[in-house]
């Protein structure tokens, strides 16, 4: 939804840029045909350019991870509480209503045009089809059709009218009318588009007047014809009709001297503004972590495969996932405790994934509520080693794995976070249980990381608590915790930063390594987290 709003704002801004360039620089010039293509190109650029982006990658050094769930509080620090009323959908509905109204008006105009042309006698002359009608309607052209009422004009007046409409028909001005009409429907809320449409239609009349006057001997008689046609109030909206408002401007432009060719520079004045638009808004900067050294190069990810399990997944689809995991990755996949509602949607499911000695598990049960969509993710590194886990709906992929430190195997699992474009959360080499409260149907995730070397379990819940369990005894996992400073005040070692609501946080700064020691001395040897609240 946000992307749609951003596109509309960018497109409207570009349309305003081209209109201002025309209004202030080109409106009084007699380069009518050049103005036509300038205005049309403005519409095309405003529709396409906001869709084109250039991605610039910036490599940054990897930030060391604290033995806390600090990643979650940073990622959620600036998220506001969701409102019960969704303004995005309200604005979208309002836009859709306006769009529907203008589409209906366009359909009515096409119907009116068809009713005028249908059944009438057509006189074919060269590439033109002339239709003489009895209705008191202003003469108009629609592609090759030229419609007029000959009984309302003298022969000389009719000649001027037909010469004018032939120019419209021969140069396919109807396409310009339809394009401007479509843009005015899509951007109906933007006042600039209506001014833009008016400028296009007016310039088309300048073109037709200029070309028709070249083929007529009496230029003044043509101008008198213009004045006479203004008495006709009826016209068809989607056609090039001889009557147009601003007759005075048309007559002025008809008698104006030709502009000097050196004034063509004005068409290029818009280019610097377009370049600035691209540099400011169409370059997307993406930050990627640089691997610290070659010691962990062997753990670089080669591929990520995701097998989605949706609330409407059938038994056949679950069987297909099982077969693919076994065939492609040699991973065992089992489902049980399957329950469905009357619409054959999953309301309960238990998933077990076994990858050698590693096991991941997800359980969802919500009474009559359907399950949350999730999936099975398989990560393959460059050495061909595979990690499998449960994909839920957090913001990051977390891969739990052991790495080599100074050539020796580490006994403690290291958590590595990899940010992706999709919102996923994966914890492999562990057992992940996802439960659903039957009243609110919100997932409560508990991750259990089992260290098989010393029998220690580290249990982490989505509330941010971490408890180490060894031989049945619990203790807080607070070793090597960073120094926490809140509003300039040092917090005690047992302070839980999760007690601070994310909406109350104004800013967060993290100091590490030498930088932390310089700022806070030995107390900052494990890193420092500075939190400034809004209070």
The answer as to whether 275 is a domain residue is no
Given a contact cutoff of 8 angstroms between Cβ atoms, the answer to whether 50 and 11 are in contact is yes
Q: Report, as an integer, the average pLDDT of 139-164.
A: 91
pLDDT, position 98: 95
370 pLDDT higher than 50: yes
pLDDT, position 360: 79
58 pLDDT higher than 60: yes
Q: Does 410 or 178 have the greater pLDDT score?
A: 178
The answer as to whether 430 is a domain residue is yes
Distance, CA of 470 to CA of 481 (rounded, Å): 20
Pairing of strands 443-451, 430-436: antiparallel
Looking up tokens 């033995």, which residue turns up? 67
Regarding whether 208 and 167 lie in a shared domain, the answer is: yes
Least confident range of 266-270, 304-308, 346-350, 522-526 = 522-526
346 falls in which pLDDT band (50, 70, 90)?
confident
Regarding whether 323 and 417 lie in a shared domain, the answer is: yes
Structural domains counted in the chain: 3
Regarding whether 466 and 527 lie in a shared domain, the answer is: no
Regarding whether 312 and 212 lie in a shared domain, the answer is: no
468 pLDDT higher than 60: no
pLDDT, position 499: 79
Structural domain for 90, as ranges: 2-65+86-266
Regarding whether 232 and 317 lie in a shared domain, the answer is: no
Regarding whether 301 and 227 lie in a shared domain, the answer is: no
- Of 266, 286, 308, which residue is a domain's last? 266
400 falls in which pLDDT band (50, 70, 90)?
very low
pLDDT, position 513: 65
Q: Which residues contact 209 (CB under 8 A, 6 or more apart)?
A: 164, 222, 226, 250, 253, 254
Q: Is 397 exposed, middle or buried (0-12, 13-18, 19+ CB in 10 A)?
A: buried
- Of 245, 266, 287, which residue is a domain's last? 266
Distance, CA of 443 to CA of 436 (rounded, Å): 5
Regarding whether 174 and 54 lie in a shared domain, the answer is: yes
pLDDT, position 49: 95
Regarding whether 494 and 444 lie in a shared domain, the answer is: no
SS3 228: helix
φ and ψ at 296, to 5 degrees?
A: -105, 10
Regarding whether 58 and 7 lie in a shared domain, the answer is: yes
412 pLDDT higher than 60: no
Instruction: Give the tokens for residue 363.
Output: 């359980």
Regarding whether 426 and 371 lie in a shared domain, the answer is: yes
Regarding whether 508 and 396 lie in a shared domain, the answer is: no
Least confident range of 265-269, 408-412, 502-506 = 408-412
Fill in the DSSP letter of residue 523.
G
Q: What is the pLDDT of residues 184-224, one digit of tens each?
A: 999 999 999 999 999 999 999 999 999 998 888 788 888 88
Least confident range of 310-324, 468-482, 517-531 = 468-482
The answer as to whether 107 is a domain residue is yes
Q: Report, as an integer, the average pLDDT of 86-91.
A: 84
Q: Which residues contact 251 (CB under 8 A, 6 or more apart)?
A: 223, 226
The answer as to whether 47 is a domain residue is yes
Our CA dihedral for 241, 243, 245, 247, rounded to 10 degrees, sits at 130
Q: How many CA atoms lie within 13 A of 506 on its CB side?
A: 6
The answer as to whether 280 is a domain residue is no
Percentage with pLDDT > 90 across the chain: 31
pLDDT, position 190: 92
Regarding whether 201 and 173 lie in a shared domain, the answer is: yes
396 pLDDT higher than 70: no
431 pLDDT higher than 50: no
441 falls in which pLDDT band (50, 70, 90)?
very low
Least confident range of 71-80, 230-239, 240-249 = 71-80
88 pLDDT higher than 50: yes
pLDDT, position 234: 58
Pairing of strands 386-391, 374-381: antiparallel
The answer as to whether 73 is a domain residue is no
- Of 225, 246, 266, which residue is a domain's last? 266
The answer as to whether 421 is a domain residue is yes
318 pLDDT higher than 80: yes
The answer as to whether 271 is a domain residue is no
Q: Write down the pTM of the prediction.
A: 0.54
266 falls in which pLDDT band (50, 70, 90)?
very high
Element housing 328 (H / E): helix 315-329
């Amino acid at each position: 939804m946000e992307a749609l709003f951003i596109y509309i704002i960018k497109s409207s801004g570009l349309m305003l840029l081209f209109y201002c360039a025309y209004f202030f620089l080109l409106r009084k010039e007699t380069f009518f045909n050049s103005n036509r293509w300038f205005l049309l190109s403005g519409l095309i650029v405003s529709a396409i350019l906001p869709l084109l982006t250039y991605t610039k990658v910036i490599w940054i050094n990897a930030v060391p991870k604290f033995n806390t769930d600090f990643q979650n509080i940073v990622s959620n620090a600036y998220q506001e509480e969701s409102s019960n009323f969704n303004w995005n959908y309200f604005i979208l509905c309002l836009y859709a209503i306006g769009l529907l109204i203008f589409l209906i008006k366009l359909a009515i105009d096409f119907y009116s045009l068809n009713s005028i042309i249908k059944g009438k006698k057509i006189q074919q002359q060269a590439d033109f089809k002339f239709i003489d009608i009895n209705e008191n309607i202003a003469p108009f052209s629609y592609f090759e059709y030229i419609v007029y009422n000959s009984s309302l004009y003298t022969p000389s007046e009719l000649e001027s009218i037909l010469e004018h409409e032939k120019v419209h028909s021969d140069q396919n001005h109807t396409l310009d009318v339809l394009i401007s009409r479509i843009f005015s429907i899509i951007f109906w809320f933007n006042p600039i588009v209506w001014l833009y449409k008016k400028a296009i239609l007016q310039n088309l009349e300048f073109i037709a007047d200029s070309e028709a006057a070249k083929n007529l001997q009496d230029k003044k008689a043509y101008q008198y014809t213009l004045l006479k046609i203004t008495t006709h109030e009826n016209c068809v909206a989607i056609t090039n009709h001889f009557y147009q408002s601003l007759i005075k401007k048309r007559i002025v432009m008809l008698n104006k001297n030709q502009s000097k060719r050196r004034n063509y520079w004005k068409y290029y004045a818009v280019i610097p503004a377009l370049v600035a638009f691209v540099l400011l808004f169409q370059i997307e900067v993406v930050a990627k972590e640089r691997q610290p050294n070659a010691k962990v190069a062997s753990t670089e990810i080669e591929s990520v495969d995701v097998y989605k399990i949706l609330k409407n997944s059938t038994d056949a689809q679950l069987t297909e996932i099982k077969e693919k995991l076994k065939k492609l990755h040699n991973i065992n996949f089992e489902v049980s405790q399957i329950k469905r509602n009357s619409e054959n949607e999953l309301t309960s499911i238990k998933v077990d994934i076994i990858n050698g000695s590693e096991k991941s598990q997800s359980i969802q049960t919500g009474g009559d509520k359907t399950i949350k969509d999730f999936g099975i993710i398989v990560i393959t590194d460059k050495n061909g080693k595979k990690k499998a886990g449960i994909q839920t709906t957090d913001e990051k992929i977390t891969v739990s794995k052991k790495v080599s430190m100074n050539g020796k195997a580490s006994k403690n699992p290291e958590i590595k976070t990899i940010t992706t474009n999709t919102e996923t959360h994966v914890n492999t080499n562990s057992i992940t249980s996802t439960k659903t409260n039957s009243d609110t149907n919100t997932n409560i995730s508990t991750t259990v990381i089992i260290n098989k070397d010393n029998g220690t379990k580290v249990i982490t819940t989505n509330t941010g608590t971490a408890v180490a369990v060894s031989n049945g005894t619990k203790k807080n996992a607070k070793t090597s915790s960073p120094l926490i400073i809140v509003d300039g005040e040092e917090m005690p070692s047992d302070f839980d930063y999760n007690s601070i609501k994310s909406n109350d946080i104004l800013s967060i700064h993290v100091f590490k390594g030498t930088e932390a020691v310089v700022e806070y001395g030995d107390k900052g040897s494990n890193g420092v987290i500075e939190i400034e609240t809004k209070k």
